[in-house]
Chain A
Amino acid sequence: MTDKSDVKLWEQIRRHKLAYYYILPSAIVMALITAFPILYQVWMAFTNFNISNLRNPHPQFVGLANFIKIFTNQVPLENFNFWRTFAFNVVWTFANVFLHVAIGISLAVALNAPRLALKKVYRTLLVIPWAVPSYISALIWKNMFDVDFGAVNQILSSILGHAAKIPWLTNPNAPIKILPFLSYAFYADLITNVWLGFPFMMVVATGALQSIPQEIYEAAEIDGVNERGKFFKITLPLIRSAMLPAIMLGIVWTFNQFNVIYLVSGGGPLGTTEILVTQAYKIVNPGGLYGIASAFGLIVFFILLGITLITNRVTRATESEI
């Protein structure tokens, strides 16, 4: 059933009535709940809405003033640097997603080995970081990174001596000189978020791996393909279409990962680990500058849309063919 591009649009819509019916329930729910806030935010972004307007929603229209303020770093917030925050946010996202996916897939593949003992127990234990409330896990990691008493430094100093105590969350300087905008706190946040996130990718990969029949591997072995070949030439391509949704959504979620940054490093020290959404939070609370925050939200939205569209093009994730 191929569509000819010269068939009129109306014809196509009529022909695919069934498809629309199938989508209708989800679409209605999502539209109601997300369309309204998006539209409201768009309106707010062009005004100077602040806390006195909660009961009296008639703020002044200020045109593009909010956006200009954001792009030229004139927002009244300490350590506000939109461009550095944006760049950091992108680096943060891709570093995390890469590690999540790599570790998740490697564990799923390891646990998929035939005749391996204790698989069910292992799988259950590995999901612990996802099951424990992230609030307390983030606080525990913050504990472990404490300069004086944290477990990480205590272990490091017992192996490498007293000087190995790393100021994870207190020193705003960068440990790796060629990456001068990544302070120690970035690595602390990264380790924590990778710990929190790899089980999810492992679970999705486990589901995806089930679509590959064992016979393919056995045929490959007969053909003399080694482990590496099996992984890169069989496993990865075949789970690609099932993993791509998780990866794309993982990018969106990690980009907006508020909890870890807020609880572990607080966006600090001195704003070096601030990402766009933690920045936006500080504009609203305690700032109460809802207009600027909405403009900020719109900007984040378009950035994410851009990243998603590019990723989509590159990976052809919306396609149906493998």
Chain B
Amino acid sequence: MKRQTIERLKHIYLHAYIIFWILIAIFPVIWIVSMSLNPVNVLRPTTLQIIPKNATLEAYKKVLTRPYEAYPVPFVKLLFNSLFVAGGTALLSVALASTAAYAFSRFRFPGREIGLLGFIVTQMLPATATLAPLFVILTLLHIRNTLYGLIVAYASGSVPFAIWNLKGYFDTVPKELEEAALVDGCDRHQAFTKIILPLSIPAIAVTFLFGFMNGWMEWMLAWTFLTKPTNFTLAMTLYNMQGQWNTPWSQFAAFSIIISLPVMVVWFLLQKYIISGLTLGAVKG
């Protein structure tokens, strides 16, 4: 009995702590929703009124029916493009990084430390520095003005974190597992695909989410490379709403809310894969 009450008390404390942070996380977003309901485009509200005067859903209607002003590109097409680019980026970065992370984790070869640090080093360049070489390379490959080009460009940005993150997780998988398999007659490749990868699903899921976020949110490279509106993404459309002086803040806020929802859905779905460390536990014990 006592153990249950202790646990229940502990849980109340935990709930309170978590809810405190949820409130902090949500508070600014409530303002964004408030902005999206305002019939007048106001960036800096002068009162603490959360529901503005004459609140309306007009902004949501406008951005869903005509997101990109200059062309009748349907919202669904933009959504599809964004999902395509984000998903492609996630898959490509996991694919490229998992093999490299495995090597860095399991093999001690000359140039290992330098190689690892080298990948971090690439993160020290601002994105704008990579604009010119990406432009050149993607044009040579004839994919610059396409969504495939974007996927390659974005994946190049997520690979370093992916390698480091996967390597860090692979490090926690005991070498004994693969050594047992190798003794049993598997080759390296099978040890990698049949043992390490399944046990690392949490880290792979996290890496996937990170790659997805990168591909979903980026607009700067997209606006520099793409010229066909049927290829545009949601992030580009959001950024496009800003005028030189005037921005339709209500629509901007509404669109921001809309663009955040798929990411949260992906995270909600990925949680199942992240919280799957049960098999590992059995082996480790």
Contacts and interface: CB of A to CB of B under 8 A. Distances in A.
A120 B285 CA distance: 27
Contact of A146 (B44, B105, B153): B44
Interface string A121-133: 0111111111111
| Interface secondary structure of B, over-half rule | helix
Contacts of B284: 213
Contacts of B274: 206-207, 210
Given A143-B31, A195-B24, A318-B112, A133 B281 contact: no
Interface of A: 3, 9, 12-13, 15-16, 18-20, 22-23, 25-27, 29-30, 32-34, 36-38, 40-41, 103, 106-107, 110-111, 113, 115-118, 120, 122-137, 139-141, 143-144, 146, 148-149, 151, 154, 195, 198-199, 203-204, 206-208, 210-215, 238, 241-246, 248-249, 252-253, 256, 258, 277, 280, 297, 300-301, 304-305, 308-309, 312, 317-318, 320-322
A143 B44 contact: yes
Interface of B: 7, 10-11, 14-15, 17-18, 21-22, 24-29, 31-32, 35, 43-48, 95-97, 99-100, 102-110, 112-113, 115-126, 129-130, 132-134, 136-137, 152-153, 155-156, 159-161, 163-165, 167-169, 171-173, 188, 202-203, 205-206, 209, 213, 217, 235, 238-239, 252-253, 256-257, 259-261, 263-264, 267-268, 271, 274-277, 280-282, 284-285
A308 B14 contact: no
Main secondary structure of the interface of A (DSSP, over half): helix
A95 B122 CA distance: 23
Given A116-B14, A140-B28, A207-B169, A124 B268 contact: yes
8 contacts: A33-B130, A40-B133, A110-B17, A126-B18, A151-B31, A151-B48, A245-B167, A246-B165
Contacts of B48: 151, 154
A149 B97 contact: no
Given A37-B132, A207-B274, 20 more contacts: A3-B108, A19-B109, A27-B115, A115-B7, A124-B268, A128-B260, A129-B29, A131-B261, A133-B259, A140-B31, A146-B44, A208-B168, A211-B172, A242-B203, A245-B165, A246-B165, A256-B124, A305-B121, A318-B116, A322-B172
A124 B123 CA distance: 28
A304 B124 CA distance: 7
Most buried by A among B152, B169, B252: B169
Nearest to B257: A132
Contacts of A305: 117, 121, 124
Given A143-B45, A320-B106, A322-B171, A297 B129 contact: yes
Contacts of B259: 133
A158 to B, nearest CB: 9
Contacts of B267: 123-124, 127, 131, 203
A8 B1 CA distance: 66
B97 A38 contact: no
A188 to B, nearest CB: 13
B123 A245 contact: no
A126 B21 contact: yes
A19 B172 contact: no
A157 to B, nearest CB: 11
Nearest to A280: B126
B264 A320 contact: no
Given A103-B21, A318-B116, A211 B169 contact: yes
B120 A128 contact: no
Given A26-B100, A140-B32, A215 B285 contact: yes
Contact of A120 (B100, B112, B271): B271
A253 B123 contact: yes
Contacts of A125: 22, 25-26
A89 to B, nearest CB: 13
Nearest to A17: B109
B281 A242 contact: no
A194 to B, nearest CB: 10
A255 to B, nearest CB: 8
Contacts of A134: 217
A29 B96 CA distance: 9
B182 to A, nearest CB: 10
Contacts of B256: 132-133, 136
Contacts of A36: 133, 136
A116 B137 CA distance: 51
With most chain A CB atoms within 10 A of its CB, the pick from B11, B102, B260, B276 is: B260
B260 A132 contact: yes
A126 B172 contact: no
